[in-house]
Amino acid sequence: MKSGKFYAVLFGGILTLLIVFSLVLAGSGDFYSSVRIMDQVAAKVAENYVEDVNIDTLVSAGIYGMLGQLDPYSEYLEPKPLDQLIEDTRGSFEGIGIEIAIQADSLTVVSPLEGSPASRAGLVAGDRIVTINGKPTAGISTEEAAKQLRGPKGTEVNVGIMRGGASEPIPFTITRGLIELKAVPYYGMVGDGIGYIRLNRFSNQATEELAQAVEELKKQNPKGVILDLRANPGGLLEEAVGIAELFLQSNQLVVETRGRRTDQNQKFFSGRPPILPDVPLVVAVDEGSASASEIVAGAVQDWDRGVVVGNQTFGKGLVQSLLGLPEGRALKLTTARYYTPSGRSIQKQERAGGLKNDSAATAEKFKTKKSGRLVAGGGGITPDVETEKSKYSPLEIELGRRALIWEFGVHYADDHPEIKEEFEVTEPVLAEFRRFLREKKFSYRSAAEEELKKLDSLAREGKFSATTQKKLDELKLALETEKEKEFAASLPFIRRQLKESILTKVFGDKVKYPLVWMKTHPELVKSKEILVSKEQYKKLLASSR
């Protein structure tokens, strides 16, 4: 016979979760009937199964099964993952440094954290992680994935990545490191009277750090300010509201939440005078800007407070509430949706999992609050000015996967202590880099070679004539020449990455923002151009009525 502890844990866990789910599922008599059935099934398993049942495994399986019917962001948190969730809003941790979510049944990179091992290795927003240490991730929870990806610094983790139209996973071996969660790694003047602030995440010190940055920039009378929210996966709602307050007028709506329960319907307003109420503002975003980043960008756009530049954001607009459970456990449950001041739903429908369609997420156009400009709906934040989206060639992916640019940068900086901040990647530097690649026996498969590989498979099956096979062999030789052209096409990427790796090794991480990013990142180049041109800035914010 099973012990009393078994029943206490099993039925206590099930009953608690079912009570919680009564807030989510349809409130009919069927709910209580379902509770009784589950209660009876659990009792019969406990009493009659051929072997002893692991209590925690059985309870967890039932919980995960329930959550699997909901959206990708609702999670059951055991004590350790709960500690990690709290840890993620402050301090630091050891791992590879990525924000992950389940999207279309795939473990997906929302955003690699800036300067993290994952970022240096070349992981990008939208990558699908299909294996971790050789094990498929199909059916894995984000909690379990985080557990496998984190670990002591200096240790390695192998991940298989599906990206774009790749025919097979790209293997990455990433060395874990210490991930610092500083909210504002850099702020300063970047030329032409323009101020720049980089915000990495909305942790519990984000508003305080950003307010200090804005105050310092204010002393220098900036002509405009760029708030860089690219690859910022979000964080705490109160920090998003606090940061919006620094730029919006008092008592302006920042964000609204709407849920099934009336206590989830709330409006959050700016509650203090802004530090920079009138200075022209540009918010830079990309597909890695999510959640709290989208709240700020949406509020700035809807109140015509500034211009949003970059690529369409991720579209994560679901509110998760942390509901306590016994023994240090918790349920992170989606209880509402986020809406911008104009009424746009931030959540993209294709990322909503089992949630029903939301009319505010499918509507195409909304009007801003002041000038009545038309802004796009449909989930996420569509920029006022869109820039070219980064696409990486097989060469660039392989250089990042093997971290060869960073490795070369470290060696080059050590061998050239005379480097100044004005350093540029010249032809001799490129020649030295190519020698380094040869020494490393670097090779990769181009996009054309990927296609040729498919033809090779058919040839091995005897489906081609000898003449065709000869042509294929000639084509292989020709493709080697094409690789030289691909290297030339990738020179802007290579120069930028080499310059960043070398300068950061010599002068520290902060130099990359004014010396590399502001000169080479399309979103920031365009942002500065708009702020320097008062006429262009005003035109973008003018009424479209």
pLDDT bucket at 267, cuts 50 / 70 / 90: very high
Q: Is the pLDDT of residue 496 over 50?
A: yes
Point out the least confidently predicted range of 20-24, 485-489, 526-530. Answer: 20-24
**Domains 92-180 and 186-324+334-386 in one fold:** no
Tally of residues, the chain: 545
What was the pLDDT predicted at 469? 67
Q: How far apart are CA 335 and CA 331, in angstroms?
A: 11
Point out the least confidently predicted range of 29-33, 385-389, 425-429. Answer: 29-33
Q: Which of 18-27, 172-181, 361-370 has the highest mean pLDDT?
A: 172-181
Q: Do 303 and 248 touch, CB atoms closer than 8 A? A: yes
225 Cβ contact list (under 8 Å, min separation 6): 194, 195, 196, 197, 214, 217, 276, 279, 280, 281, 282, 531
pLDDT bucket at 180, cuts 50 / 70 / 90: confident
Return the domain boundaries, the chain.
4-69, 92-180, 186-324+334-386, 394-522
What was the pLDDT predicted at 15? 46
Q: How far apart are CA 378 and CA 239, in angstroms?
A: 25
Q: Do 255 and 339 touch, CB atoms closer than 8 A? A: yes
Strand 98-103, strand 374-376: pairing: unpaired
How would you class 428 by CB atoms within 10 Å of its CB: exposed for 0-12, middle for 13-18, buried for 19 or more?
Answer: exposed
Which superfamily is assigned to 92-180 in CATH?
Answer: PDZ domain (2.30.42.10)
What was the pLDDT predicted at 352? 54
pLDDT bucket at 389, cuts 50 / 70 / 90: confident
Q: How far apart are CA 545 and CA 71, in angstroms?
A: 38
Percent of the chain clearing pLDDT 70 (strictly above): 84
What was the pLDDT predicted at 59? 75
What was the pLDDT predicted at 451? 64
Q: Do 470 and 378 touch, CB atoms closer than 8 A? A: no
What was the pLDDT predicted at 12? 47
Model pLDDT for residues 273-291, shown as the tens digit of each residue: 999 999 999 999 999 999 9
Residue 281's φ and ψ, nearest 5 degrees, are -130, 135
pLDDT bucket at 458, cuts 50 / 70 / 90: low
Structure token pair of residue 500:
């960043």
119 Cβ contact list (under 8 Å, min separation 6): 97, 112, 113, 231
Listed residue (476, 479, 405, 477) closest to 437, CA to CA = 405
Three state DSSP letters for 154-200 = CCEEEEEEECCCCCCCEEEEEECEEEECCCCCEEEECCCCEEEEECC
Which residues face 322 on adjacent strands? 332
Handedness of CA 489, 98, 315, 286 (dihedral sign): negative
Task: Evaluate if pTM is beyond 0.85.
Answer: no
What was the pLDDT predicted at 81? 59
Q: Is the pLDDT of residue 529 over 60?
A: yes
CA angle 405, 226, 535 (to 5 degrees): 125
Structure token pair of residue 517:
């990013």
Q: Do 361 and 378 touch, CB atoms closer than 8 A? A: yes
What was the pLDDT predicted at 24? 47
Model pLDDT for residues 89-106, shown as the tens digit of each residue: 556 789 999 888 887 778
Average pLDDT, whole number, for the chain? 86
Q: Is the pLDDT of residue 18 over 60?
A: no
Listed residue (224, 229, 222) closest to 244, CA to CA = 229
Higher pLDDT, 119 or 39: 119
Listed residue (365, 373, 264, 258) closest to 321, CA to CA = 264
Q: Do 430 and 497 touch, CB atoms closer than 8 A? A: no
Model pLDDT for residues 26-37, shown as the tens digit of each residue: 455 577 777 778
Mean pLDDT confidence for 527-534: 97
Point out the least confidently predicted range of 118-127, 184-193, 498-507. Answer: 118-127
Listed residue (192, 307, 248) closest to 240, CA to CA = 248
Q: How far apart are CA 5 and CA 327, in angstroms?
A: 13
Query: Around Cβ 179, how many Cβ atoms within 10 Å?
Result: 21
pLDDT bucket at 52, cuts 50 / 70 / 90: confident
Q: Is the pLDDT of residue 62 over 70?
A: yes
Point out the least confidently predicted range of 198-207, 427-436, 438-447. Answer: 438-447
What was the pLDDT predicted at 114? 79
Q: Is the pLDDT of residue 83 over 80?
A: no
Q: Is the pLDDT of residue 544 over 90?
A: no
pLDDT bucket at 481, cuts 50 / 70 / 90: confident
Q: How far apart are CA 476 and CA 97, in angstroms?
A: 39
What was the pLDDT predicted at 1? 45
Catalytic residues: 291, 302, 316
What was the pLDDT predicted at 8? 46
Q: Which of 50-54, 107-111, 299-303 has the highest mean pLDDT?
A: 299-303
Structure token pair of residue 196:
């720049």
Model pLDDT for residues 209-258, shown as the tens digit of each residue: 999 999 999 999 999 999 999 999 998 999 999 999 999 999 999 999 99
What was the pLDDT predicted at 80? 64
pLDDT bucket at 457, cuts 50 / 70 / 90: low
| DSSP state for residue 152 in the 8-state scheme | -
Q: Is the pLDDT of residue 16 over 50?
A: no
Q: Which ranges constitute the DSSP H helices of 68-122?
A: 79-87, 117-121
Percent of the chain clearing pLDDT 90 (strictly above): 53
Q: How far apart are CA 512 and CA 515, in angstroms?
A: 5
What was the pLDDT predicted at 465? 67
Model pLDDT for residues 459-474, shown as the tens digit of each residue: 666 666 667 767 777 6
The CATH fold of domain 186-324+334-386: 2-enoyl-CoA Hydratase; Chain A, domain 1 (3.90.226)
242 sits in which H/E element: helix 237-245
Mean pLDDT confidence for 442-467: 68
